[in-house]
Amino acid sequence: MENARITDIKLMALSPYQDDIGLWNLIRVESDQGVWGLGEAYWGPGFRPVIDALLKPLFVGENPFDIDRLFTGAYMRMAGAHTQNGLVMSALSGIEIALWDLAGKLSGLPTYRLLGGRFRERVRLYRTGLPPHLEEYSACEEYAAQTRAEGWTAIKTLDVDSMYQRYDPQCREPGHEPLARTLSAADLKRSEKIMANLRRAFGDEFDIAVHCHWALDLRDALALAEVIAPYRPLWLEDPLPVAFSPAWVELKKRSPVPICTGENLYNRYEFRPFIEEGGTDIAHIDVPKSGGLLEAKRIADLADLHYMKTSMHCASSIVGLTASAHAAASIRSFGLLERAGGDFAWYEKLVESETPLIQDGYLVLPQGPGLGLHLNPDIARVHLAPGEQYWGD
């Protein structure tokens, strides 16, 4: 097993939303030992040529246990001909996750053991959603009852960035323009009303995070933070454009609400200024996007040096969610992991498990080798993207 070799890397895209954009990209890394590893890259199209033409030749014939060296070598090779981030980094992340699954299967150990062991047996999740008409208390009351009944203890909602699309799609209100980074006075009033409704409906003990999808400027982000602060949100997520600037530091200093960002950052180098220069309160890592499991650990360690918590964004299938949970379990100071995406009845059924993975708002770590997952062929085949072929076994 120690002298195993990688023989192939394959991509299989699922289309949960039945479109050509919201694809889930499952990765298979095969070995000459008759064992293969399962991973997942970030969602979206365009991965096949990146994996088949650029990355696979760098891995085939190599020892699958040399995960860090292989990842670093491929990352460095992309610096000249192509960007090291974007699709390349997301594809590398999926391959890296699959290598950890393969290493666990070859060694007979769960992946979290290979990452240094676990601090927790289960990882707390937050559920992302945006039901309609949250400006009406009855809608929030119904949302809270359903969410609590499903066992969740935290949500992310509001989506301030889409206010104009939901309430003023023609942009007729003063201050609304498509693509402009502006919140109108009406938007701030709506945000306050929705947060008041949510807090009343969910109660004081329930965590509520607010998402902005990098849509605001500094002044509007501060105005929004002041408006929602009385309702004690868990955090204000991605309020400013993605790239680091002194505005992030200013926002964190002046905001009465904790600032959270990171879902659009690739590797520890892009997280570094936010952590070292104080541009966020919470490092929010997307494992299938920002570099995989070991890179997530490195980012979390850097955050820990500055007494900063780590949480995780995840817009992936149950495969990417479980992989993220393995990393989260091995991180000392960890907050919450996102369960995003639609309310698909088959979400957890994509993999076979003796007991439910998600229980009472937590992901309970599977105990098998590697990620502890096996694809369910009946579910995967039904949701293949057009032109895709099932390769699980």
Do the beta carbons of residue 123 and residue 337 sit within 8 Å? yes
Please report where in the chains the tokens 């088959």 appear, as a residue. 346
Digit-coded pLDDT (tens) for 185-214: 999 999 999 999 999 999 999 999 999 999
User: What is the secondary structure of 144-179 as a DSSP string?
Assistant: HHHHHHTT-SEEEE--GGGHHHHH-TT--STT--TT
If you average pLDDT over residues 330-352, what whole number do you get? 94
Q: CA-to-CA distance for 371 and 38, rounded, in angstroms?
A: 8
Read off the pLDDT of residues 35-55 as tens digits, 9 standing for 90 and up.
Answer: 999 999 999 999 999 999 999
* DSSP per residue, 293-346: HHHHHHHHHHHHHTT-EEEEE--S-HHHHHHHHHHHHT-SSEEEEEE-S---TT
Q: Is 392 exposed, middle or buried (0-12, 13-18, 19+ CB in 10 A)?
A: middle
The pLDDT value given to residue 355: 83
Return residue ranges of the chain for CATH 3.20.20.120: 114-367
Q: What is the pLDDT of residues 105-130, one digit of tens each?
A: 999 999 999 999 999 999 999 999 99
| Higher local confidence (pLDDT), 99 or 20 | 99
Residue 342: CB atoms within 10 Å: 10
Contact 227, 163 (CB under 8 A): no
Range(s) for CATH 3.30.390.10 in the chain? 6-108
Contact between residue 266 and residue 289 where contact means Cβ atoms under 8 Å apart: yes
Mean pLDDT of 58-64: 98
Q: Between 162 and 94, where is the model more confident?
A: 94
Architecture of domain 114-367: Alpha-Beta Barrel (3.20)
The single-letter code of the amino acid at 98 is A
Q: Is 112 exposed, middle or buried (0-12, 13-18, 19+ CB in 10 A)?
A: buried
Instruction: Please check the confidence at residue 33 and state whether its pLDDT lies above 80.
Output: yes
332, two tokens: 């000392």
- pLDDT reported for residue 147: 97
Q: Number of H helices and number of E strands within the chain?
A: 15, 15
Segment 260-315, tens digit of pLDDT:
999 999 999 999 999 999 999 999 999 999 999 999 999 999 999 999 999 999 99
pLDDT confidence of residue 243? 96
pLDDT interval class at 80 (50, 70, 90): confident
**pLDDT at residue number 357:** 97
Note the pTM of the prediction, 2 decimals.
0.97
Radius of gyration of the chain (CA): 21
The CATH number that domain 6-108 falls under is 3.30.390.10
CB within 8 Å of 250: residues ≥ 6 apart: 218
Q: Are 345 and 140 in contact (CB under 8 A)?
A: no
393 pLDDT above the threshold of 80: no
d(CA 27, CA 39) in angstroms, rounded, equals: 5
Give pLDDT, residue 230: 98
CA distance 42 to 22: 10
Report which of 230, 299, 309 is spatially closest to residue 270, judged by C-alpha positions.
299
Instruction: Kindly tell me the burial class for residue 323, based on how many C-beta atoms sit within 10 Å of its own C-beta (0-12, 13-18, 19 or more).
Output: buried
